[in-house]
Amino acid sequence: MSRLGRTGARARQVWAALRHNPYVERVEQARRRNEDDLAPLEPPPIDPPEPEEIPEPEPEPRSDGIPNGLRIAAGWAWRTLITAAAVIAILYLADMLAVVVIPLLISLLLAAMLQPMVAMLVRWHVPRSLAAAVVLVAGLGTVAAVLTYVINQFIEGVPKLVENVQEGVQTIQTWAKEGPLHLEQKQIDDFFKQLTESLNAWLAPDPSSAAETTAVTLGVAMNILTGLFLVLFVTFFFMRDGRKIWTFLVKMLPANAFEPMMRAGNSSWRTLVSFVRATILVAVIDAVGIGAGLVLLDVPLAIPLAALVFLSAFVPIVGATVSGAVAVLVALVGDDWITALIVLGLVLAVQQLEGNVLQPLLMGRAVSIHPLAVVLAVSAGMVLGSIIGALIAVPIVAVVNAGVRQLRARPLPVEESPPPGSVST
């Protein structure tokens, strides 16, 4: 190693010793503190001023002395009266246009029942118009075939029922003579003669009003034919252009209401389809169960009674009660009280199965309506529209309930008003 190299190494050793010298370290620390003290001080951050709370304006004192609670009650009262008046006006117009409104509502039920089959044919690349026509014709053919079979069974079963009724009347007469009453034959004959005359007087038409009765009958027949034509016509277009019709109607509303109302309409339609499907399935199960029991018990008019059970199932609670009572009465008149008790037990068992298993399982949450609401809706529909009103009351309540729930889940957007003093361009 050269002399210059040895001198450099020695210098590096000396510098390292100086760096680790505690006195040199203290001098360096003091120098750093002096530099920090001489550095310019940064101003502390200034917090933004808190916004001043604007006091709410105090309500001006009323000079008329009416309590605030009474004002609120009066506001609710007149709003309720206006709403009730609007509902009454709508019902009055619906009653005036019953020939159009009732077929329209029935067409909605039929479209909800047949629309899934139309959608299936459309998925198979069948034109929508042809699919709607095929489904409608097939549905008409099925209904005509079932009605023909039921009517034939009714015609065949009436003679046997009349024979059983005559035997029952003869049994009552024998019991009245030989039983604890000990009536004479003349008294029994007079009683049945008066009963027959009363029935004939009640059923026989009044000759003085024959022309009026004929006119009323013709008017009813024309209304029925018009209603049937409208039902077929409207059902076809509901199945073919249902979504287009609803979109056209919703477009008449304000722009901000279009999307919420479309969602509400879709939810209501799904609810109606679910209701009709579940009701048909429940009606089929009720009719098959009760009808099979009536056939096994050899009750007269078993098939027509099963058809009555099927049709009455579309009126919840009330329909099942009425059809069950008719079945028990026919069993009592046609056979004996033991058969009637067995039929009563069968009807109660099927109704319990429907109410506790079928309805909750098939209806589900889509059409979950409280039983009290169902009874009130059916009662109101019966008062306002007789049998047709009772038939369509529960579907209307289910559809309105689904639509309102959808709107409450996503309320209508509120249009923002421009700030005061702004100029619109």
For 350-393, write each residue's pLDDT tens digit.
888 877 777 666 665 556 677 777 778 888 888 887 778 878 88
Distances (CA, A) of 393 to 223, 314, 372, 398: 22, 10, 13, 9
So what's the pLDDT on residue 134? 92
Does the structure show a pLDDT above 80 at 30? no
Closest CA to 280 of 109, 152, 397, 145: 109
So what's the pLDDT on residue 420? 40
Closest CA to 314 of 228, 391, 380, 217: 391
Listed in sequence order, the residues at least 6 apart from 300 whose beta carbon sits closer than 8 Å to its beta carbon are 157, 160, 161, 164, 330, 334, 335
Does the structure show a pLDDT above 90 at 346? no
In the chain, the amino acid numbered 121 is: L
115 is written with which tokens? 């629309």
Q: What percent of the chain has pLDDT over 70?
A: 66
How far is Cα 177 from Cα 169, in angstroms, rounded to an integer?
Answer: 13
Query: Are 319 and 312 in contact, with CB atoms under 8 Å apart?
Result: yes
∠ CA 233-234-235, nearest 5°, is 95
How far is Cα 106 from Cα 385, in angstroms, rounded to an integer?
Answer: 13
The domain ranges of the chain are 94-194+225-252, 259-411
How far is Cα 67 from Cα 35, in angstroms, rounded to an integer?
Answer: 76
Total residue length of the chain: 425
Distances (CA, A) of 229 to 54, 235, 237, 276: 68, 10, 13, 22
Give the pLDDT band (50/70/90) at residue 113: confident
Choose the weakest-confidence range: 141-155, 233-247, 289-303, 309-323.
309-323
Does the structure show a pLDDT above 80 at 395? yes
Torsion angle defined by CA atoms of residues 418, 419, 423 and 425, in that order, rounded to the nearest 10 degrees: -30
So what's the pLDDT on residue 325? 84
276-295: pLDDT as tens digits? 888 888 888 888 888 888 88
Does the structure show a pLDDT above 60 at 60? no
Average pLDDT score over residue span 123-138: 90
How far is Cα 388 from Cα 339, in angstroms, rounded to an integer?
Answer: 33
Phi first, then psi, for residue 246 (nearest 5°) are: -65, -40
How far is Cα 135 from Cα 143, in angstroms, rounded to an integer?
Answer: 12
So what's the pLDDT on residue 199? 58
Give the pLDDT band (50/70/90) at residue 158: confident
